[in-house]
Chains A and B, each alone.
Chain A
């Protein structure tokens, strides 16, 4: 998976509990992203980061926060998980802005989260 590790790969939690998903990359890419994948919706961007401590919201950011204290790590936190956040979460990286040039996304293997 091009040096992208997501953890945990599977998690079951209860409504109202906090959850943190971790993405670790060994490619030294500047950009990191969190997507969620749901049937009928494809992949939707939650948050992304363009450098250490530099983050911005995606199209479905409500209920999620992120942090990037090191180039290689990008954390996604659900402060109080809800059943609507049951999904498969994918981390992705790109060398530079995916909206320019020939930069493309490389995805991790995904983290399946179930909120009961």
Chain B
């Protein structure tokens, strides 16, 4: 099945740095979701986006629904150790079989 292209696949940063990751597709989406997965746990929803151009924040996290409707971005400001984990994007396509497709994930590692 179609997957989203999520990048980068992994990131190694210093505590306090800002983080940026994104998801892109050749298809148009009407919803973007960002999840975080802690080790040994299931993904937890961070931010949901429903409108092109929408910019939504959740604490230090900010996500944007791309204007082209084919991409989305997640930024984390001033990273802290508990930000470690795998971040997944998920998108809901406009055309074709209606389903939720997931990116491959971005694994974030933080050096104290």
Contact = CB atoms under 8 A, between A and B. Distances in A.
Contact of A1 (B42, B48, B104): B42
A110 B41 contact: yes
Interface string A78-92: 000000000000101
A40 B104 contact: yes
Interface stretch (A14-22, A67-75, A100-108): A100-108
What size tier do the contact residues of chain A reach?
20 to 34
Contact of B45 (A4, A40, A104): A104
Interface string A95-115: 001111010111111100000
Nearest to B48: A104
A44 B42 CA distance: 14
Interface of chain B, main secondary structure = strand
A99 B99 contact: yes
A107 B100 contact: no
B88 interface: yes
A104 B33 contact: yes
19 contacts: A1-B41, A1-B42, A42-B6, A42-B88, A42-B102, A42-B105, A44-B1, A44-B102, A45-B99, A98-B100, A99-B98, A99-B100, A102-B48, A105-B100, A106-B45, A109-B40, A109-B41, A109-B42, A110-B40
